[in-house]
Each structure stands twice: as structure tokens, then as C-alpha cells.
Chain A
Amino acid sequence: MKRVFGSLREYKWPSILTLLLMVVEAFIETQIPTITANLVNTIEGFEGLAGTASQEVMNGVIKTGIQLIAMAAVSLICGGLGGYACSKASAGLAKNLRRDIYERVQTFSFENIDKFSSSSLITRLTTDITNVQMAYMMIIRTVVRSPMMMVFSIVMAYRLGGRLSLFFVVIVPVLVLGLAMIGKVVLPAFKRVFKRYDLLNESIEENVRGMRVVKGFARENYEIEKFNKEADGIRKDFTFAERVVALNGPLMQLCMNFNLVFILFVGAKMIVQSGGETIKVGQISAMLTYGMQTLMSLMMFSVIFVMVTISAESVRRISEVLKEESSLVNPENPVCEVADGSVDFSGVSFKYSADAERDSLSDINLHIRSGMTVGIIGGTGSGKSSLVQLIPRLYDVSAGEIKVGGVDVRKYDLEVLRDSVAMVLQKNQVFSGTIAENLRWGNPNASDEEIRQASRLAQADEFISSFPDGYNTYIEQGGANVSGGQKQRLCIARALLKKPKVLILDDSTSAVDTKTDSLIREGFKNYIPETTKIIIAQRVASVKDADMIVVMDDGRVTDFGTHDELLEKSGIYREVYEEQTNGGDFDEQ
């Protein structure tokens, strides 16, 4: 809670202003009925008067009227300004929260991100924050206003009606008790509904995404049945919750009507018995209004109580992210220069989370000299990607150490390290924006010529130039309008623009045809000879000519050496090689 309010910052003042304006508004709103009562009583004075006397009364009416108009004007200004201020405060809080979480996430390591899962981070950034925004708006408007309103109303009612205000003693506990009971039943019911909603939405999303599978297996009716069952569950839970909430209305009506009948009857008695001396008709209508105001403010208070409870879950989820400390931190006196592209693994073990049963990598020892080309081969789940992700410190080792340029990666400034180690990921990602914009991720200051040069090296220049808009072609979200092979080449060009000391390709030419693949490797050899190249591939052909090939199996390095050496000593390598020489690859040309 505290952490979330910490994001208020510059919107603290609009929030405080809202609270103040609401107090003033509540005060004035409780004055108005008394003045109105005066007005009514003044009008009553007309009865039986005539001539100048009635003129005097009329002046009284106008005087009270002006008083009332002035009050209304102040209340209008307070209410309007308050609406403005509370919107600013709540929208601002939401903005700051979104920014703070986003910023926080940018500092997260993948261990942190995996812990939350990115889809849950997205929900926290969107739905949860919207919930908090709405709740906050409601709260700052009512949290002070409602109790104040109640206190002012009761005080004014007592001053005006004396004994008549006794009805509060009866009605307020009834309403409080009723609201509390409703709240007690309804909150868990709503929580159930929300949970069910999540499940239903998940199932819808699965159907949208897997539409071809559903149709392919002709499972439409099966899915409809499944959906209807879940939807019916929501209907039942939600109907129950809504019916309980719906009791609020009649309960409120009951209290208000009791209020009206009581005051009308007892008031009438008091007026008649006192001959209109202690109390007048005007007071009765004012008392009615005070009763209404008290009940209304109680009601509002119960609404914010519900809102707070509902949004508490969102608040908790948001502060969970805000207080999460990144598991990767910059060292105190970071090394800011990477000497060369040598990479050394000594005794490296790694697991994705501390409580994972098995290591994903165990006891890796590898020494890669600067400028070498290294191929990594191994089956699905053998640990190839895990291995290379440790080099730019996407994850930290669990044991052992990794040195780049002779220095432990944990001693580098993170930015310096990642600038020197470029990585093309297995899951290629381009972002919405033009091709040139995407490539400039590698180097924001790259000239057009440099971009062209990198694209040529990645064998991408040709297809980019064939687009009508060339490098200004707009790439849609997820890169929907470029093919897999094209995307991979764009990602390689993007990495090349960094002019890295170490270049890692994690299975990044799988959708590129073999000829282009070899042209890319050719280019690497000729144009960036000093860069260390680490290439993960499924195709032996992609790594055959490497200075060193590493064979991995089940999280361990089983063998390393050149192609010829491995054919001799590595059973796994030979198996893969023979399997693949029986057939080639065929993809884009």
C-alpha cells in the first residue's frame, strides 16, 4: 500500500487539494438545508400577511435566496475543482505506477521476469493499475467527504431539530449492520467471480489462438459445450453476488422511507403541540434532507469499502513488482572496457531457479580464444541456449565463473558487457517500426551506409531493397509482414551493427536456406575476423567449418574439437552428421 502511494509524487498535491475541497463541499452541502429551512419558514410567514409586511417577508426571501446562491456557487466551485483535481490525481497515480513498474521491469533479470511470467506482468501493468486508478479516485473523493458529511449532517440536524434527530440512533445502526452483512457475503462471492472470469478468458484466448486446431479436429461443438459450462458457472456465481448487492437498494429505501415517515409524523406532533414555536415546517424538510445525506454518506462509505477490498488484490500485485529487487546488479567498481573477445567457462553450473531439482548446465569448461568461430550442436533441451545466455549475463551462473576478455562477467558494467556481446536470439523479435528503425537498435547513430553494410553482410540488403519502401518499410507488430527467414536476417544485421567483440547466433539461421546461410558465414569470416563467433545450429553444415565444435547433451559438454576430430571421437556428432547427410535442407532461395 505504502509503496503504491509512493508513486504519487507530483500528484500528491491534487490529492490533498481534493480532500480539502471535499471537506468544504461537504460543509456547505450540510449548510444548504438549514438555509433552505429558513427560506421555507420565511415563506410561511406570508400566511395572512399583506401589504408592506409581506414586502418585508419578500425581502427576507430574497436575502436568504442570495445566501443560498452564494453557497451554491462555492459548492459548485469546490465540486467542479474537486472533480478536476481527483481526476488529475488518480490518472497521475496510474501514469506514475505504470512508469515505475515499466522501469522496474527494465532492470529485472530474466530470473525475475520468469518468476512473474510476462503475461502476468502485462496484466499488472494494465488491468491492475486501472483498478487502482478507479479505486483511488473514488477513495479520495469520499474517504474524508463521507464521514464529514455525516458528522456535519448529524450536528446540523441536532441543532435544528433537537429531539427529532433521535431517529439517527435507530436508523444508522440498522443501515451499518445491513451494509456490513451484505459486504461480508458479497466480497468472497466477487472474488470467486473474478477467478472464474480469468479461467473463462483463458479458454476463449486458447480458442482464438488455436482456431485451426479446433476446426481441424472438427471440435467446434465440443468447445461450445465446454464454454457454456464455464460460462454457466460464472452466471450462477455472478447472479448470486449481484442479487446480494441488489439488496442495497431496497435496504437504503427502507431506511430513507422510515426516516421520512418518522420525521413527518413526529415532526407534525411537535409542531402542533408547540403551536409552531419550537419547530416549523421548514425544519421538517431540512431534517428530511439531513437524514438522506447521512444515509447517503454511509452508503458511499460502504461502496469505498468494497472498492478497497476489491482493489486490494491489485495493489498487492502491483507492490509485489515494485518491491522485487533485480537479481542482477551492477558491481560497485565495474570494469568498463572489454579487452577482447575471448570467452572462458570454468566449472560452470547453472539452474533457472534456486529450487529447481536439476541443473540445466553442469560443470562446463570451455576456452574460446578471441576471433574463433565456435559451433555448438546438441539435441532439444541439451542446454545450448542456456549456455550462451550466460555470456551477456541474461542469467547468472549458479557455480563457477565465466570470463569475457579475461574478466569475470559479473565484474563488468552490464551495459558495457552487453554492448560487446551481441546475441541473435532463437526467438527472433522485430518491433513495430520501419526496418531502419529496427536495425538502429544495434547502433542508434549508425549512418545509412553502415546500415546497408550490415544488411549486406547479413544477406538482407537484397530483399530489403526489393520492397517498394526499402529500408523505410514499416514492420507490423510481431513482424507479421516479413517471412521467418527475412526476420532472422534482419536480426543478424541488427546485431552486426553493434560491432561486437563476441557475436552469438542462437539457431538464428534455421529458416534461411543453406546457400544464404553459408554466404552469411562467409561474410563473417572475411569482414569481422576479430569477432568471436559462437553459432548454435541444428544443421551440421552450419558449423562444420568452425574452429571448434562443441557437442552438448543433457546439460553437459560431451565433446569438442574440429569436424574431423569429432567424426572420430563423438558418437552423437557422427549420428547427427550421418542423419543429415542423407538429405539436405530446403527453404528460401
Chain B
Amino acid sequence: MSSKAPNNGAPAGKPKLNIGILKRIISSLFKAYPKLIPVIIFCIIFSAVAAAMPALFTQNVVALIEKWYVSRDWAGAKAEILPKILLLVGMYALAILSSFAFTQVGAYVTQGFLYKMRGAMFEKMQSLPVRYFDRNKHGDIMSRYTNDIDTLRQLVSQAIPTLLQAGIVVVSVLAIMLWFSVWMTLVVVVGVIAIMFVSGKIGGGSAKFFVRQQISLGKTEGFIQEMMNGQKVIKVFNHEEQSKRDFDEVNNALYNDSFKAHAFANSLGPIIFNIGNLLYVSVAVIGGLLLLSGVKNISISGMAFSVSLIVPFLGMTKQFTGNVNQVAQQFNTVVMGMAGAGRVFDLLDEESEPDDGYVTLVDAQIAPDGTITEADHRTGKWAWKHPHRDGTLTYTELKGDVRLNQVDFGYIEGKQVLYDVSVYAEPGQKVAFVGATGAGKTTITNLINRFYDIADGKIRYDGININKIKKSALRRSLGIVLQETNLFTGTVMDNIRYGRLDATDEECIAAAKLAGADGFITRLPHGYSTHLTNNGSNLSQGQRQLIAIARAAVADPPVMILDEATSSIDTRTEAIVQAGMDKLMENRTVFVIAHRLSTVMDSDVIMVLDHGRIIERGSHEDLIAAKGTYYRLYTGSFEE
């Protein structure tokens, strides 16, 4: 037990552009849609170029107007202007078509990509070791699916296409500008550098506060969650005023960060826009001066300075700054999107629970002479299918013989919690673990189903080292009922069937009867079809435990682990379900953890644990006779 500083678990750190992450996003996109991505890019480029071209046409048309208006000959002018206009219409039509195409395909690709990312995350999550869930807060894992995926969506669907498109427009416009005049292009470039400088400053500040806002939001949510769950305690202690004051503190911090983040972001637009206006004036004035002073123009086209050059140039300046502005507006999205993507990738890069077991579990047919063959249907018997290095296969009947030999274990390196634990459970035996909280009872069962791997020693299951057994096979052979019951959204029937997916309704009801759950289930408004939500919040803790027992019963595994499975069921109800529990444990190897001694006293072996060591073992009678710790606790329990 150490005193720890409050850790908010929120992602801290400075906002930065991590090119590695961007690269990875883009390469994942390509991998997901190798054909469509190039199509999108082509369409974006095409529509961007098409958007930049009108400047050339306007220049042309303006020049034609200049040429014709003195003569007021519209018919003559029309003959020259109309083809240009029609060409323009054609280009626009193509641009609109391509932008239609890329936005439609883009929507499809974005959602498909997110679907794939979500699927990959979920699949990865399912493969992660239990340790990961110890280490990471649930809310933190959740937010990767919600907030982080959402920032990623904005990045992919909005920021990247905008950056690409605006970037291309900027480059094309720049090229056209150079076509017209190098001198005037220089003026624009100087202005754009100023814009970039300012938006870098402001955008950076805004991104910094956006990250802070995320952290504050996390803190506020944490606070609210804690207080909401503890509302009864607050009321009982008249603690409302104090909790309001505490709330104000986190709430004000959130306000501050949120306000600053948005204030920076919102002023960015007007600032860039008006720098654009200043630039516009500068271009006009400098253009005029250049025209006046008769400086020789340098341009790709070789055009000389003229009014019909300056006018479209002014239009291009607007277009140029407009697009630079668009790029700047994406700054926050990019920073937040990359932070979100980083956290998504972190999850994807977590190391999966290693599973190099090769022994699998199969339905078995056992001939009278003891030979075992694999069956393609449920026979009620199972066998371990054990492939050997020489290519042969052997089958071992699954009996439920579990042996732990001198096992050492610690959850964290250097902090051992189990010392030299040896347990021998023969098929059909009931083995109980008793001891104080933290003595290591649950830890032992966590090792048998390999939620964690042992540091030293051996665990054998029907003579096979459990490291050789495929984890899914191992766990399928072990039924487990935990103290903390977790039910899933769905009907009561669905929840029981979770134990064995191909169980019939009758089998599920039989299991519920065995667990003593049938009584209350049939009294629920819709019986077995009652829909459970939010971890079965409409049921009592005891009722949820009964469903969990039924769920394990329907799986009908040869070995069962009952970890405080009846702790929330009062002794009277427990007495009622006892018969069912006894039947459930019949012919099975059972590991029982309970702090109620009445639950464990009929066990074949009782292990008394203390600080990670087995200090006594034997049957109830043996232990009473030995007059050790167990005896003291048993007899002492009614002493005052």
C-alpha cells in the first residue's frame, strides 16, 4: 500500500505533428482501399486544378473586353468571348463531376476505413492479456473507440482532403501567378509567409489549449462519475455544498481551457482573412507602382505589365489567401486527429496474449476398450488432441485432474504474491481456498485458466503442461463464476446461453433450474425473454449471480471455478440453491473460494492461504483436529 499522487491518466504532452503517425494513417488507407484511394487522389487533383484555372480565363475575357468595349461591337466580341466561356463551362462541369465523385467515394472510404479500424481495435482488444485491463482504466480504453476514432474521422474525411486540395490549388495558383509576373508573385509570397507565421503562432496556442481542454474534460468526467456513483453517501453526509465547491474547481478549469482553445481558434479566421485584405491592397498598389514606373516584367509567359494582368492577379491573391486560410483552419483537426490516431495505434500495437499452445479440445468417443476417437458431435466426453513432433496424434481423455507444483507468481515483477504453492485436485474433487482478502485465493484460479502466466513451477492438466494447451481450449474446459458478475445486453436466455452457444432453450432453462434461478426469472415481466441492459442493472446482485451460475452450468465443463460465486446471495437463498449447486459440482473438479465457511466445509480438501502461502491443508475434519488457524477461525466465529 503506498500513497500515490492522483493520476488522471489523460494523455498529456505538447501537441506536435508526428509525421510517422500521418504516414501510417495514409499507408493504412492505401492498404484498405488500394484502388479507390488513387481514384480519390486523382479526382481531388483534377478538381483542384480545375478550380485554379478560371483565373486564366478571366484574364482572357478581361483582355477581350478591354479590346472590344471601345468599339461597342458586342457581336464581334461575342464571337471571341463565347468559346472561352463555353470552355470554362466545360471545365466547370468536369470539376463538379470529379468533386462529386471524390466526395461520394470519400464518404464510402472514410466510413469503411473507420469500420476497419474499429474492427481491428476490437479484435486486438479481445486478444489482449488480462493484465492490460488491470493497467488501463476502462474509461480510457472506451475513449479510444469514441473520441479518438472521431478525431480520426475528422482527420481522414475532412483535414487530409482539404489539405490536399488546398495545397494543390495553392501550387497551381502559384504557377499561374508566375506565368503572369514574378515580381507580383514575390509580393504575394511575402504576405503568405506572414500569414503562415501568424497562424503558426495562433494555431499552436489553440492546439495547446485544445489538448488541455481534452485533459480537463477527462478530469471533469472522472469527477462527475465518482460523485454520481457516490450520490447516496453525499446525501447521507450532507456533503452537497462541499461537493459543489469541489465541482466548481474542476468546472472552472475546464471553462478556462475551453474558452482559450476556442478563442484562439475563432480569431484565426478573421486574422488571416484580413491579412489577405492587406495583401490585396499591397498587390494593387505595388502593381500600380510597377505599371507606373515601367519596370520590366519578368514572367513565364513573357507578358508585359498591363491592367489585364493586374486585375486577375488580384483575384488570384484572394484565392491564394483563401486556400491558405483553409489549410490553417485544419491545424487543430490535424493535431487532435494525430493524437487520437496515436492512441488508436497504441492499442493496435499492444502485445497480444501469447498463445503458443497446440493441444486442443475435441468431442470424443471412447470405445469400451478405452481407445479414443474424435467425434463430430457433442458426446458429453472430451479429449485433449495432442499432436507430436513426429507427426503422430494422441488423444487423452479430459478428466479434470489439475496439479500445481511449487508455483511462484507475482502480478508485478519483484512483488511476489504466491510462494511455492502446490495443489493436487483429482478428478471430481472439490478443492476449497480460504484465507484473508489478498492471501492469493483468486490469484491461484487466475493461473489455472491462464489469465496470468506463472513465474516458476508447473501446472499440469490431465498430465499435460497447461502451457502446451491452446488457451481457448483450456478455458472452454473450465467453467468460471466470478464474484463480480458481468452480464451482457440481451435477453436472460441469451445470457445463459453465453455458456454454450448451441444450447437449446430447454437446456438453458434446465441450467437455470439447477442454479435456482428459474424461480425469479419466471417472475420477471417477460420471463426468459426479459431484456437486460447495463449489466443487468434491473436485477439484484444476488439474482445476477444466479444467472452467472446458470451460465456456467449450461457450459457443462469438467472443471469449475467458483470465486465467491454465492457471496451476494444471502444464506437463506443459498440454502435453497445449495441442492442445485451440489448437483452442479457433482462429478466435476471444483475449485471454490468463499469466505463463508458453510460453503466450503464439505470440500475434499481445504487450503488455508496466508500471504501467498498454503499454511494448512486437509479436509474439514482434519483441519479441525489439527487445531490450527482453520480451527481457530471456525470455532472463533461465534465467540464474542
| Contact indicator A79/B274 (Cβ below 8 Å) | yes
Given A68-B281, A79-B269, A220-B126: A473 in contact with B263 (beta carbons within 8 A):
no
| Contact indicator B266/A86 (Cβ below 8 Å) | yes
| Contact indicator A80/B58 (Cβ below 8 Å) | no
| Contact indicator A239/B108 (Cβ below 8 Å) | yes
Please pick, from B85, B127, B229, B233, the residue contacting A265 in the complex, using a CB distance under 8 A. B85
| Contact indicator B292/A54 (Cβ below 8 Å) | yes
Within 8 A of A (CB), among B604-640: 630, 633-640
Bound Cα distance from A107 to B3, whole angstroms? 34
| Minimum CB–CB distance for B542 against chain A, Å | 4
Please pick, from A64, A218, A228, A235, the residue contacting B114 in the complex, using a CB distance under 8 A. A235
| Contact indicator B81/A468 (Cβ below 8 Å) | no
The stretch that binds A, out of B188-196, B367-375, B430-438, is B430-438
Q: Is B174 an interface residue, CB under 8 A from the partner? A: no
Given A54-B292, A423-B236, A468-B1: A79 in contact with B222 (beta carbons within 8 A):
no
Please pick, from A76, A210, A275, A444, the residue contacting B274 in the complex, using a CB distance under 8 A. A76
| Contact indicator B65/A272 (Cβ below 8 Å) | yes
Residue of B nearest to A71 (CB): B277
Given A126-B221, A273-B72: A206 in contact with B263 (beta carbons within 8 A):
no
Please pick, from A80, A208, A380, A415, the residue contacting B267 in the complex, using a CB distance under 8 A. A80
| Contact indicator B542/A381 (Cβ below 8 Å) | yes
Q: Is A336 an interface residue, CB under 8 A from the partner? A: no
| Contact indicator B95/A79 (Cβ below 8 Å) | no
Q: Is B248 an interface residue, CB under 8 A from the partner? A: yes
Please pick, from A44, A69, A257, A588, the residue contacting B96 in the complex, using a CB distance under 8 A. A257
Given A272-B74, A586-B633: A213 in contact with B482 (beta carbons within 8 A):
yes
Q: How many residues of B contact A (CB 8 A)?
A: 177
Please pick, from A281, A483, A541, the residue contacting B637 in the complex, using a CB distance under 8 A. A541
Q: How many residues of A contact B (CB 8 A)?
A: 179
Q: Is B11 an interface residue, CB under 8 A from the partner? A: no
Within 8 A of A (CB), among B236-287: 236-240, 242-244, 247-248, 251-252, 254-255, 258-263, 265-271, 273-274, 277-278, 280-281, 284-285, 287
Given A83-B270, A418-B237, A584-B633: A242 in contact with B107 (beta carbons within 8 A):
yes
Bound Cα distance from A213 to B236, whole angstroms? 35
| Contact indicator A481/B1 (Cβ below 8 Å) | yes
Q: Is B396 an interface residue, CB under 8 A from the partner? A: no
| Contact indicator A222/B1 (Cβ below 8 Å) | no
Q: Is B183 an interface residue, CB under 8 A from the partner? A: no
Q: Is B314 an interface residue, CB under 8 A from the partner? A: yes
Considering residues A219, A221, A274, which has the most beta carbons from chain B within 10 angstroms of its beta carbon?
Answer: A219
Q: Is B103 an interface residue, CB under 8 A from the partner? A: yes
| Contact indicator A91/B259 (Cβ below 8 Å) | yes
| Contact indicator B598/A83 (Cβ below 8 Å) | no
Q: Is A139 an interface residue, CB under 8 A from the partner? A: no
Q: Is A511 an interface residue, CB under 8 A from the partner? A: yes
Q: Is B17 an interface residue, CB under 8 A from the partner? A: no
Residue of A nearest to B315 (CB): A285
| Contact indicator B571/A588 (Cβ below 8 Å) | no
Chain A residue numbers with a CB within 8 Å of B81 are 265, 268
| Cβ contacts A101-139/B at 8 Å (1 or 0 each) | 011011100100100011101100110001001000100
| Contact indicator B100/A206 (Cβ below 8 Å) | no
Q: Is A1 an interface residue, CB under 8 A from the partner? A: no
Chain B residue numbers with a CB within 8 Å of A281 are 62, 65-66, 307, 311
Please pick, from A141, A381, A394, A432, the residue contacting B236 in the complex, using a CB distance under 8 A. A394
| Contact indicator B640/A518 (Cβ below 8 Å) | yes
Bound Cα distance from A582 to B239, whole angstroms? 43
Q: Is A209 an interface residue, CB under 8 A from the partner? A: yes
Given A272-B73, A429-B230: A218 in contact with B472 (beta carbons within 8 A):
yes
| Contact indicator A216/B478 (Cβ below 8 Å) | yes
Chain A residue numbers with a CB within 8 Å of B555 are 217
Q: Is A148 an interface residue, CB under 8 A from the partner? A: no
Within 8 A of B (CB), among A411-447: 415, 418-419, 422-423, 425, 427, 429, 431-432, 434, 441-442, 444
Please pick, from A25, A43, A484, A518, the residue contacting B639 in the complex, using a CB distance under 8 A. A518
| Minimum CB–CB distance for B173 against chain A, Å | 16
Q: A-side binding surface: helix, strand, loop or mixed?
A: helix
Q: Is A99 an interface residue, CB under 8 A from the partner? A: yes
| Contact indicator A234/B226 (Cβ below 8 Å) | no
| Contact indicator B478/A36 (Cβ below 8 Å) | no
| Contact indicator A61/B122 (Cβ below 8 Å) | no
Bound Cα distance from A6 to B267, whole angstroms? 27
| Contact indicator B225/A419 (Cβ below 8 Å) | no
Bound Cα distance from A117 to B534, whole angstroms? 11
Q: Is B569 an interface residue, CB under 8 A from the partner? A: yes
Bound Cα distance from A576 to B569, whole angstroms? 13
Please pick, from A110, A210, A429, A434, the residue contacting B486 in the complex, using a CB distance under 8 A. A210
Please pick, from A43, A476, A522, the residue contacting B4 in the complex, using a CB distance under 8 A. A476
| Minimum CB–CB distance for A492 against chain B, Å | 13
Given A122-B221, A586-B434: A231 in contact with B96 (beta carbons within 8 A):
no
Q: Is B10 an interface residue, CB under 8 A from the partner? A: no
| Contact indicator A584/B634 (Cβ below 8 Å) | yes
Chain A residue numbers with a CB within 8 Å of B524 are none
Residue of A nearest to B575 (CB): A579
Q: Is B186 an interface residue, CB under 8 A from the partner? A: no
| Contact indicator B281/A474 (Cβ below 8 Å) | no
| Minimum CB–CB distance for B517 against chain A, Å | 12
Within 8 A of A (CB), among B60-89: 61-62, 64-66, 68-70, 72-74, 77-78, 81-82, 85, 88-89
| Contact indicator B107/A243 (Cβ below 8 Å) | yes
| Minimum CB–CB distance for B177 against chain A, Å | 16
Q: Is A402 an interface residue, CB under 8 A from the partner? A: no
Chain A residue numbers with a CB within 8 Å of B543 are 380
The stretch that binds B, out of A158-166, A177-185, A196-204, A298-306, is A196-204
| Contact indicator A76/B271 (Cβ below 8 Å) | yes
The stretch that binds A, out of B137-145, B457-465, B507-515, is B137-145
Please pick, from B95, B217, B475, B487, the residue contacting A218 in the complex, using a CB distance under 8 A. B475
Bound Cα distance from A422 to B296, whole angstroms? 93
Chain B residue numbers with a CB within 8 Å of A265 are 81-82, 85
Please pick, from A75, A201, A288, A474, the residue contacting B142 in the complex, using a CB distance under 8 A. A201
Chain A residue numbers with a CB within 8 Å of B146 are 201
Please pick, from A88, A247, A269, A545, the residue contacting B78 in the complex, using a CB distance under 8 A. A269
| Contact indicator B598/A227 (Cβ below 8 Å) | no
| Contact indicator A83/B126 (Cβ below 8 Å) | no
| Minimum CB–CB distance for B497 against chain A, Å | 11
Within 8 A of B (CB), among A475-515: 476-478, 481-485, 494, 498, 511, 513-515
Q: Is A566 an interface residue, CB under 8 A from the partner? A: no
| Contact indicator B96/A276 (Cβ below 8 Å) | no
Bound Cα distance from A92 to B85, whole angstroms? 52
Bound Cα distance from A415 to B78, whole angstroms? 88
The stretch that binds B, out of A248-256, A341-349, A364-372, is A248-256
Considering residues B141, B235, B449, which has the most beta carbons from chain A within 10 angstroms of its beta carbon?
Answer: B235
| Contact indicator A473/B271 (Cβ below 8 Å) | no
Q: Is A238 an interface residue, CB under 8 A from the partner? A: yes
Chain B residue numbers with a CB within 8 Å of A285 are 58, 311, 314-315
Please pick, from A76, A466, A585, the residue contacting B270 in the complex, using a CB distance under 8 A. A76
Chain B residue numbers with a CB within 8 Å of A88 are 259, 263
| Cβ contacts B471-491/A at 8 Å (1 or 0 each) | 111011010101000111100
Q: Is A472 an interface residue, CB under 8 A from the partner? A: yes
| Contact indicator B103/A250 (Cβ below 8 Å) | yes
Having A79-B269, A235-B112, one finds 7 other A-B pairs with CB under 8 Å, namely A79-B274, A110-B232, A205-B138, A208-B138, A213-B482, A273-B72, A586-B435
* The 6 residue pairs across chains A and B that have the minimum distance between CB atoms: A79-B270, A584-B637, A83-B266, A583-B598, A210-B486, A87-B262
What are 24 A-B interface contacts by the 8 Å CB criterion? A32-B277, A79-B273, A83-B266, A83-B267, A87-B259, A88-B259, A94-B258, A110-B235, A208-B142, A213-B498, A217-B476, A218-B475, A239-B108, A242-B107, A254-B96, A379-B570, A427-B232, A468-B2, A477-B226, A483-B437, A511-B595, A514-B638, A575-B572, A584-B598
